[in-house]
Structure 1
C-alpha cells in the first residue's frame, strides 16, 4: 500500500458501526483515590473485578455520570500481551473489538510524519505537514476543553468502513501525487516522490492509553500516568432458590461464584436484619415468623467488596386460622368468624362449593347460597401476593331452609283438619307441624316428609293455631315458621225444643261448644227471614202464622265453621174459626158458614151437627168455610160446631144453632079436673097452675130442641 499524506489542517474522524447485542449485565466501579498507571489499574480490576471498563453506546452515560476526574478505561493503542498481533486501537482490554469511539476533537494524535519530496529535476525539497495537533494534550477535565463537541458536530466523520485496510497511520507510509488530489491538493510535479519521516517536534504519545473525561469524551494519555480508573464486573446471573418452606423454616440454595473469598447471606424480615456468613452453597433458616416476607441476598465477597448479590424474596407459610365457627345462618347466607393465627396474615381465602371470596378481616359473610343445603367452608390465611397459603381450617353447616308457602286448611271436621303447603326453594329434610289452642296447649306435634298432613285428635269447636316449619340437617336446623289459624267444626246442638202459641215460637237447645249459633226458621220449604246469629242457646220468633208447621234449624258456629244443623218442627197453636152462622135452612137441610181465623196458614176444618132431642150427631171434614147437612128433621133445633184442624189437633169450636123449617102439627090434650075440695077445679088459679105445670113439663121434656108450643083452651 502506498503512503498516504494529509495536508496540515485536515482532521480525520473515524466512527464505528454500533452493534447492539445481548450481553450480561455489568456493574461499574470508579476508583478515584490514589491513582494508578493503566497497567496497575488493569491488574487491580482483573483481580477484584473483571477488567477495565469497556465503553459502549449503551453504557457510556452510566459510566460518565459517576466520573469526577479523568479516568482510565480499558483501551490502549497497543497491547503488550504475549502473542498479541492486533492492530492499534482495535480491541478492548477484555478482548472485545473496538466498535465504538468517542474521541474528544483532535484525538487520537497520530505520529506526526513529514512528507519530503525528492524532485529529480530540481534540488528543492518540499515539506508537507499532514495535520496540526491540539496543543493542550494533557487537559485533565472538561474545563480545559470548553468547546469540546461530540461526533454529532462532525458530520463528515467517516467510519473504518471507508478505509477497509486502514489500521493506523503506520499503514500510510507513502502518499503519491494522485492520492493527494482526492483531498484537493495540487499534484506534485511529474516524477516527484514523497517520503514520510517522523517529525521529532510533534505531540505524539508512543505508549498511548485512553482516558475518559468526566463528561464522557476520550483522550490519549501516557499509560504510565497515575489516574483514576473504571473497572467493570459482570453480574453473576444466579438466583437464590428457596425450598422446604414452612411457617418457621426454609432452605436456601444458591450458585457458586468463582474467584471469591466467601459469601455473606443477609435475610431481612420486615426490617429486621439477620446475618450469617458461610462458604457453603446452602443454608437452613429456622425460627422464622409465619406469614412474613423474607428478602434474601447472598453477596459474593471479593477483595473485601460485596459483589452483585444473588437474591430472592419469599413468604413463610402462614399459620392456619383458629377458632373457626359459624356465627349466624340465614336462608342464603352464612356468617363465619375466626381468630387470627400466630404470625402475620395479609389476607384470608374462604372456599365453598366451587366458589371463593377473599377479605382481610377475621370473619366473612358468605351469601347467595341455596337454602337448606349443606356447605363445608374452608378458610386459609395467606400473604399479600397470594403466593403461599396456610393449611385449611374447615367447618360444615347447613343454610337455614326456606319457609313454606301457600299454607291452607281444608276438610275441617269437629276433630280433624287437613293441612297442606308448598315446599320452599332449596333443600329440606322434613317439616315440623304443630297445632295448639289459644292457651298454648299443644294438641298435635309431628315431623312429616310430605307437603300435607291430617291433623287429628282435636277438640270440636275450637280455634286452632297451626305452625309449619321446614327442617334440614336431620331436623336440627329450622326455617322460618309459617302460621295459619283455623277451627274445628263444633258438635251439633242437642235437646232442641220448640214451644208455640198461635203466633209465636220459642226455640231452645243445649250445646257443648260453639261461640255463636246460627238459627234458621223455615216454612213450607222456604227460609223465613234471615239467618239469625245469637250468642245464647235460645231464639224466640213472633208474628207467626197460626196453625203453621214451622221448622227450626240450629248450627253451632266457631270461627267461620258451622256444625251440622239440628232441626225440629212444630205447629203454632190453632185459632178457632169465627162468626159461625146459618147460611140457609129448609125442612130437611141446613147450611152453616163461618169465617177463617186471621193470619193462619192453609188449614182444614171439622164440622159437627147434632140434635140431642133426636139423638142425632154428624161430623165431617171440610176444607171450605161452609157445610150443608141433609136428612134432617123439620122443626128441629140443630147445634153446629166448626173447628180448625192441623197436625192432628183441633182448635176450640166456633158454635151456632138453628132450626130446620118446621112442619107444624097440632096435638090436643084433654084434661079432667077432679078435686076432693069442693069447687077447687072451678078456680082459675087452679087451672092456670095446672097449665103452668104442664108447660114446665113440656119445656123440660122438649126444651128448645124442637119447635113446639103449648096452647091452653078452656071450654
Structure 2
C-alpha cells in the first residue's frame, strides 16, 4: 500500500490488522514506525567568499527535519559537517579552488535524509606577491610578481593615468605595458582570477611614472666670460621640472628649473663646460634621458697690452695673460689698407714687415681651446718709426745762410724737424717740404745740421741724417 499526503520528515507509526470477511472480526495488528524523507532545503545561496572560506545560507525545507548535513569537496578530498542553523561558514579552504557543496536535511532518526541541494563556488584567489616594477621607459612599464598561494587561472592587470583605464589578462607572472605617455603616473593593479573567470582575489597595487622624454633643441644662446645661457624645447609627454648639470672636469654643479631656459653663472673664463638637461617626473625621482651640450666661456681680456719697441719695419708687443684660461692669442694689425693676423701662444709678439712711419691699429684676443670662442679684444695703436731722409744736400751757402734739400724717406712721414747748432746755441724748424733755407747765421761759422722725419702722431721720429757746413767768410 502507498500512503499519500504525508508530511515530510515526520515519524509515522503504522499498524496493519487483518479483518475477517464479516468486516468486523480483526486479528492482531502488526506495527511499524517510519519517517518520511525531509524535503530539499530551499534557496541555497553562497553569501560570502574569502580566500579560505565560503559562507552559505538556505531556507529550511517544508515539513520537518532535525539538522542539516553540509558536505564540500574540491575533487581531492571531501569533508562534511552537521549544523542545525540554516547557515554555515566553511573554513580552512584553499584559495582559488572550486568547491562543490551540498546541503541535505536529516530527519530526527539521524538516518533518513532528504534530497540534497547543490551549489558550487570558488574561493577567492589569494593576492599576488612581490609585485615590482622591473623597468621603465618613456612609453612602457615592465612588471613582475610571484604567483599567489593556492590556485588561480590567470591575472587581470589594470592601469590608469587618471584620464583613462585599460586592462589585459595574462597567464604569466610578468607583463610589459606599452603605448604609455612619457612622464605620466600610472596606477597599476594585478588581480588573480579563478578558473570560473569571475571570482577575483584582492588586488596588489603599485604606482610608477614612465620616464619623461628627452628635451630637444638644446641651444647655447649667449656666452660671457662667467656665464652660459641655454634654452631648450620641452619634451613630449609630461614632466615636472628639469635638472641642469654642468661640469668643468674639476667639479660638477646642478640646479633645478621649471622654465625651458637657464643662465648658468659664476663660471671661469675660457673653460669648457659639459652641460646636461634632464626632465624629471612629478615624483621627483623618475628622470628621462639627458640632452647634452658643451660650450666654452669666453676667455677674459688680456691685461697690460704694451708696445715695447718700434723700428721702421716692426712693432714689438707684450701683455699679461688673462684671468681664467685660454689656449692661444690672435693678434691682428691693420694700417687702414690691409689687415693681417697671427696666432701666438706666448704673451709677446714682434710684428715685422711693416711700412715705415705708418699707424697700425693692433688688437690682441684670447681664444679658448675650441679654437672658436674668443674673448674681448685689447687694443693699442702705434706708428712705426719714419725712415731716414735721403740725399740730404747743401744747395747754397752764403755768409748768413745755408740752403738744404733732400728726398723724402721711404714709407710715410708727416713733416721734418731740421735742427742746426753752432756749438753755442741750437735752433730748429718744422717743415713739410723737402727743402729749407736756414738764415740769420753768422759768417764763417761751422753749423752741425740734422734732418729727422716725424710721423703723423707728432711724436714718433725716425733716425736723423747729419752733416756739418761752414757759412762763407
Q: Which residue of 2 aligns with 1:625?
A: 434
> What's the CA shift for 1:389?
0.8
1:548-598: CA deviation from partner (whole Å, max 9, x where unpaired): 222321111223322211112222233211111245789998753322333
Distance 1:327 1:270, change over 3 A: farther
Kept after mapping to 2: 8 A contact 1:239/1:312 = no
Kept after mapping to 1: 8 A contact 2:383/2:460 = no
**Structural mapping, 1:416-435, within 5 Å:** 416-435=227-246
Query: What is the aligned counterpart of 2:301 among 488, 492, 502?
Result: 492
> What's the CA shift for 1:271?
4.5
Give the Cα–Cα distance (whole angstroms) in 2 for the partners of residues 416 and 552 of structure 1. 28
Q: State whether structure 2 residue 96 is matched by structure 1 residue 286.
A: no
> What's the CA shift for 1:382?
0.9
> What's the CA shift for 1:275?
6.0
Q: Which residue of 2 aligns with 1:574?
A: 386
Kept after mapping to 1: 8 A contact 2:189/2:206 = yes
Q: What TM-score do the two structures reach when normalised by structure 1?
A: 0.51
Kept after mapping to 2: 8 A contact 1:581/1:656 = no
Q: Which residue of 2 aligns with 1:477?
A: 286
Q: Which residue of 1 aligns with 2:128?
A: 321
Kept after mapping to 1: 8 A contact 2:240/2:258 = yes
Give the Cα–Cα distance (whole angstroms) in 2 for the partners of residues 500 and 265 of structure 1. 121
Distance 1:633 1:253, change over 3 A: closer
Q: State whether structure 2 residue 412 is matched by structure 1 residue 597.
A: no
> What's the CA shift for 1:377?
1.5
**Structural mapping, 1:272-311, within 5 Å:** 272-274=77-79, 284-296=89-101, 311=118
Kept after mapping to 2: 8 A contact 1:520/1:527 = no
Query: What is the aligned counterpart of 1:565 among 367, 374, 377?
Result: 377
Q: Which has the higher strand share?
A: 2
Q: State whether structure 2 residue 138 is matched by structure 1 residue 331.
A: yes
**Structural mapping, 1:206-355, within 5 Å:** 241-252=45-56, 267-274=72-79, 284-296=89-101, 311-353=118-160, 354-355=165-166
**Structural mapping, 1:357-396, within 5 Å:** 357-396=168-207
Give the Cα–Cα distance (whole angstroms) in 1 for the partners of residues 52 and 422 of structure 2. 140
Q: Which residue of 2 aligns with 1:685?
A: none
> What's the CA shift for 1:387?
0.7
Distance 1:464 1:586, change over 3 A: same
**Structural mapping, 1:48-197, within 5 Å:** none
Give the Cα–Cα distance (whole angstroms) in 2 for the partners of residues 351 and 257 of structure 1. 45
Give the Cα–Cα distance (whole angstroms) in 1 for the partners of residues 267 and 84 of structure 2. 92
Give the Cα–Cα distance (whole angstroms) in 1 for the partners of residues 280 and 425 of structure 2. 95
Query: What is the aligned counterpart of 1:546 among 356, 363, 379?
Result: 356
Kept after mapping to 2: 8 A contact 1:350/1:380 = yes
The DSSP-based 3-state class of the residue aligned with 1:706 is coil
> What's the CA shift for 1:267?
4.0
Q: State whether structure 2 residue 191 is matched by structure 1 residue 403.
A: no
Give the Cα–Cα distance (whole angstroms) in 2 for the partners of residues 616 and 421 of structure 1. 76
> What's the CA shift for 1:518?
1.4
The DSSP-based 3-state class of the residue aligned with 1:343 is coil
1:222-277: CA deviation from partner (whole Å, max 9, x where unpaired): xxxxxxxxxxxxxx9x9964332222222456788999999987644245444678
Give the Cα–Cα distance (whole angstroms) in 2 for the partners of residues 568 and 625 of structure 1. 31
Give the Cα–Cα distance (whole angstroms) in 1 for the partners of residues 396 and 302 of structure 2. 56
Distance 1:616 1:476, change over 3 A: closer
Segments of structure 1 that go 5 or more residues without pairing to the other structure are 1-39, 44-235, 659-703, 708-715
Kept after mapping to 1: 8 A contact 2:397/2:471 = no
Q: Which residue of 1 aligns with 2:472?
A: 706
Query: What is the aligned counterpart of 2:311 among 479, 482, 501?
Result: 501
Kept after mapping to 1: 8 A contact 2:124/2:200 = yes
Give the Cα–Cα distance (whole angstroms) in 2 for the partners of residues 252 and 612 of structure 1. 144
The DSSP-based 3-state class of the residue aligned with 2:223 is coil
**Structural mapping, 1:426-445, within 5 Å:** 426-439=237-250, 441-442=251-252, 444-445=253-254
Q: Which residue of 2 aligns with 1:453?
A: 262
Q: Larger Rg: 1 or 2?
A: 1
1:89-142: CA deviation from partner (whole Å, max 9, x where unpaired): xxxxxxxxxxxxxxxxxxxxxxxxxxxxxxxxxxxxxxxxxxxxxxxxxxxxxx
Q: How many residues align?
A: 423
Distance 1:405 1:471, change over 3 A: same
Distance 1:705 1:631, change over 3 A: closer
Q: Which residue of 2 aligns with 1:518?
A: 330
The DSSP-based 3-state class of the residue aligned with 1:492 is coil
1:591-648: CA deviation from partner (whole Å, max 9, x where unpaired): 53322333x234322335x6959999663411x4344567889999987543211232
Kept after mapping to 2: 8 A contact 1:349/1:359 = yes
> What's the CA shift for 1:341?
2.0
Kept after mapping to 2: 8 A contact 1:611/1:705 = no
Kept after mapping to 1: 8 A contact 2:400/2:471 = no
